Amino acid sequence: MSEPLSKIPNGLRYYSGHEARLRRVIEETAMSVFEGWSYEEVITPTLDYYSLFERGMGPSEAHHAFRFTDTDGRLLALRPDVTSGIARVTATLFANRPRPLRLCYAAPVFRQQGQSTIEWRRESTQIGCELVGQNSAASDIEVLAIACEVLRRLHLDRGYVITLNDVEVFNGVAESLGFDSGARDQLRQLEDGRNVADVEAFLTSRASVEDVRAISQLIRLSGKLETLDSARGLIKNARSSAALDRLENLWRIIESLALTDHFEIDLGDVSRLDYYTGLTFKIYIEGAGARVGSGGRYDNLTANFGKSEPAVGFVLDLDALAGLLLAGNNGAMLTAQPERKAQCVVDNDLSALFREAIERRARGERVVIGSGEVTP
Amino acid sequence: MTQLTIAIAKGRLQAGTLELLANSGLCDTRDALSSRRLAIEDESGRFRFIFVKPMDVPVYVEHGIADCGVVGRDVLMESDADLLQPLTLGIGRCRIVVAAPAGMPGRGSGMLRVATKYPHIAAAYFGAHGQPVEVIELSGSVELAPLLGLADCIVDLVETGRTLHDNGLSIIEVIAESSGRLVVNRASYQLKPKAVGALIAALEAATREGDLQSD
């Protein structure tokens, strides 16, 4: 039996009309903000060697990629992320450029399966920026400020929260317990689910009573500045304490920018520790059931490409942003411009018709070529 | 005022969940106990309860349609949903087990046919032990499968063990202990921290009280 022509593969779709316009406006809005902060656009290849993504994302994330063989037999992948390609270009093509590098992108990425059970899309668009070659509080704040501006320009600034954590808080705890990488990752997974009972059961045979109590409290610690003070009462190791100090410095500046309403410290957020090396953040917006963006510091990433240097950045999920804007009425505000009325040009003499149409276009009017009698 | 939508698994856990909510002092659940409506708002307007099939609780919560949910650990293990699980509630305690008729060859004796309502749990468990299995997914009366020769053993939820016993099956291995859990949507946890925090604290206190009484 032949399949209907209308059938398209799972997880893919068409966009048209208002929705397609909205997506373009979101992309342009974000890119213009990046441009305003002097970020340079980089367009990475859609197809690249699979090994690039294994290096950049780690094998467990990379294996979600669609894979093919090249004509020489090497394994290719449809890019499952953009950051890997950016990391490679900073270490190779841009190796001799003066630092810091400020790079940005907006591009579709592809995965064989969504990252979670609710993510049905297999093609989605990532918008992001990376600040490479500068390890300072200033660069962390820079990317957070950029994220806030993008959301503000998209009129999404009423109900968003950016949660902050530093992976070194957890790493310090795991190190002080003498955990190997296996135990560390098990603890991380349990913490990520925030189940106190699970964490306690796991730790009972592996840590002292005080440590168990401290960690099970730590995973629920979230809030404003006072969160850090509570954490200091629970964990004393030097590595974690240094991370808490970094978070406090960051928070003080956020405070001085009057942005604390939009920020929370969440010491229980421990997803993807293999990737991040310092600050991590996640962006949530009222009305979206999942996060719309995330980012952080990943100083080890470029080392995988032979040139170790600090890097910080974030990525926004265009599909989630478009979904929010479509559901609210903010979307109409953003796309109001292209919906201006079209002037219908009709003439039986095709030369006259197109002369007029071209003149009107030169004046910047929107035209539609009529079919003769019908006026739409 | 922030309203929280709570998805409650119908069936085994339903009464226990509503009792726990009432004991927590957060809300009056008498209406919910007596009504057959599938969505109910409590009098204070702080909570909306929706009653759905257990397997659908993770779906509603992961999408953020419900902020929180109460569902058994067995369902969470099967669903693979990305949720926060801040509390174990101690209601509806049971075990997920491998059960078989007496004399059934155990693991390590070649291919096993496993009948279950929990294909992911079964595949993950036997996979982790290197045991090759053919998983046969059924939607109920799983105990029949070994009796009729459809499978060598079953993976199922056991509360008292009575059904197993009556059908000539006994527990061979315990895969996991399960009881009701509070699950929370990741975005709701960040966007409604006060309301979610209050719910967790109140349920935690009510759970502890319940544990003390039953001990």
What is the model's pLDDT at position B212? 67
Residues of B in contact with A117 (CB under 8 A): 58-59, 62, 79-82
Q: Where residue A333 falls among pLDDT bands split at 50, 70, 90?
A: low
Give mean pLDDT, residues A328-344: 65
A360 found inside a domain: yes
Q: Would you tell me how many other CB atoms lie within 10 Å of the CB of residue B174?
A: 11
The tokens describing A90, both together, are: 């900073």
Asked if residue A348 and residue A296 are part of one domain, the reply reads no
Q: Is B83 in CB contact (< 8 Å) with chain A?
A: yes
Q: How far is A160 from chain B (nearest CA, A)?
A: 8
Q: Is A288 in CB contact (< 8 Å) with chain B?
A: yes
Probe site for chain A from B63, B82, B87, B192 (most A CB atoms < 10 A):
B82
Axis crossing angle, helix A209-218 with helix A196-203, rounded to the nearest 10:
150
What is the model's pLDDT at position A93? 93
Contact call for A194 and B84, based on CB within 8 A: yes
**Is the pLDDT assigned to residue A222 strictly greater than 60?**
yes
ipTM for the predicted complex: 0.84
pLDDT digits (tens, 9 = 90+) for B107-166: 667 889 999 999 999 999 999 999 999 999 999 899 999 999 999 999 999 998 898 999
Q: Are A168 and A278 in contact (CB under 8 A)?
A: yes
Chain B residue closest in CA terms to A164: B190
pLDDT digits (tens, 9 = 90+) for A13-39: 999 998 999 999 999 999 999 999 999
Q: Would you tell me how many other CB atoms lie within 10 Å of the CB of residue A7?
A: 7
What is the model's pLDDT at position A375? 46
**Is the pLDDT assigned to residue A260 strictly greater than 80?**
yes
- Out of A117, A193, A223, name the one closest to residue B62 (CB): A117
Indicate where chain B has its CATH 3.40.190.10 domain(s): 4-92+179-214, 94-178
Asked if residue A138 and residue A119 are part of one domain, the reply reads yes
CA dist B96 and B177 (Å) reads 6
Axis crossing angle, helix B14-23 with helix B193-214, rounded to the nearest 10:
100
Give mean pLDDT, residues A68-91: 95
Contact call for B87 and A195, based on CB within 8 A: yes
Q: How far is B115 from chain A (nearest CA, A)?
A: 24
Asked if residue A100 and residue A25 are part of one domain, the reply reads yes
Contact call for A222 and B81, based on CB within 8 A: no
A236 found inside a domain: no
Contact call for B191 and A198, based on CB within 8 A: no
Terminal Cα-to-Cα distance of chain A (whole angstroms) = 42
Could you give the C-alpha distances from A287 to A62, A160, A252, A323, in angstroms and in order? Answer: 30, 10, 29, 9
Please state, rounded to an integer, the average pLDDT across all residues of chain B: 90
- Out of B64, B81, B88, name the one closest to residue A288 (CB): B64
Q: For residue A361, give its domain range.
A: 340-369
Strand order in the sheet with A123-132: A40-41, A101-110, A123-132, A311-317, A293-297, A279-285, A160-166, A263-266, A222-223
* Omega of the bond leading into B119 within 30 degrees of 0 (cis): no
Contact call for A288 and B79, based on CB within 8 A: no
DSSP B61: H
The fold adopted by the segment(s) B94-178 is: D-Maltodextrin-Binding Protein; domain 2 (3.40.190)
Q: Are A246 and A166 in contact (CB under 8 A)?
A: yes
Contact call for B85 and A290, based on CB within 8 A: no
What are φ and ψ of residue A294, in 5° steps? Answer: -160, 165
Strand order in the sheet with A47-49: A47-49, A75-78, A67-69
Give mean pLDDT, residues A330-358: 74
Contact call for B190 and A197, based on CB within 8 A: no
Q: Give residue A18's identity as a one-letter amino acid code.
A: H
Contact call for A290 and B84, based on CB within 8 A: no
CA dist A59 and A52 (Å) reads 10
What is the model's pLDDT at position A100? 95
Query: Nearest 10 degrees: CA dihedral of A46, A51, A52, A55?
Result: 140
Q: Is A291 in CB contact (< 8 Å) with chain B?
A: yes
Please state, rounded to an integer, the average pLDDT across all residues of chain A: 90
CA dist A234 and A241 (Å) reads 10
pLDDT digits (tens, 9 = 90+) for A266-308: 999 888 777 889 999 999 999 898 999 999 999 888 888 888 8
What is the model's pLDDT at position A130? 96
What are φ and ψ of residue A52, in 5° steps? Answer: -60, -45
What is the model's pLDDT at position A328? 79
Contact call for A197 and B83, based on CB within 8 A: no
CA dist A75 and A349 (Å) reads 57
Q: Where residue A332 falls among pLDDT bands split at 50, 70, 90?
A: low
What is the model's pLDDT at position B106? 67
What is the model's pLDDT at position A196? 85
Q: Is B177 in CB contact (< 8 Å) with chain A?
A: no
Contact call for A197 and B88, based on CB within 8 A: yes
**Is the pLDDT assigned to residue A343 strictly greater than 90?**
no
What is the model's pLDDT at position A374? 44
Probe site for chain A from B63, B70, B76, B85 (most A CB atoms < 10 A):
B85
Point out the least confidently predicted range of A140-144, A313-317, A362-366, B51-55.
Answer: A362-366
CA A174 to chain centre: 27
Probe site for chain B from A164, A186, A194 (most B CB atoms < 10 A):
A194
Question: Strand B133-137 relative to strand B94-101: parallel, antiparallel, unpaired?
Answer: unpaired
Write the CB contacts of A243 (distance below 8 Å, at least 6 apart in sequence).
Answer: A166, A167, A168, A169, A172, A278
Chain A residue closest in CA terms to B84: A193
Q: Is B38 in CB contact (< 8 Å) with chain A?
A: no
Q: Give residue A198's identity as a one-letter amino acid code.
A: D
Q: Are B9 and B70 in contact (CB under 8 A)?
A: yes
B 188-207 near A (Cβ less than 8 A)? 189-191, 193, 200
Q: How many CB pairs under 8 A join A and B?
A: 68
What are φ and ψ of residue B97, in 5° steps? Answer: -130, 165
What is the model's pLDDT at position A135? 84
Q: Would you tell me how many other CB atoms lie within 10 Å of the CB of residue A148?
A: 20
Provide the domain count of chain A. Answer: 2
The tokens describing A280, both together, are: 């991590």
What is the model's pLDDT at position B203? 94
Asked if residue A311 and residue A295 are part of one domain, the reply reads yes
Give mean pLDDT, residues A31-51: 97
Q: How far is A117 from chain B (nearest CA, A)?
A: 6
Which one, of A160, A39, A118, lies nearest residue A319 by Cα? A118
Q: Would you tell me how many other CB atoms lie within 10 Å of the CB of residue A273?
A: 18
CA dist A126 and A108 (Å) reads 6
What is the model's pLDDT at position A365? 87
Residues of A in contact with B189 (CB under 8 A): 194
Which one, of A104, A84, A81, lies nearest residue A92 by Cα? A84
CA B7 to chain centre: 12
Asked if residue A65 and residue A27 are part of one domain, the reply reads yes
Q: Would you tell me how many other CB atoms lie within 10 Å of the CB of residue A201?
A: 14
The tokens describing A260, both together, are: 């604390």
Q: What is the CATH number of domain B4-92+179-214?
A: 3.40.190.10
- Out of B65, B84, B190, name the one closest to residue A163 (CB): B190
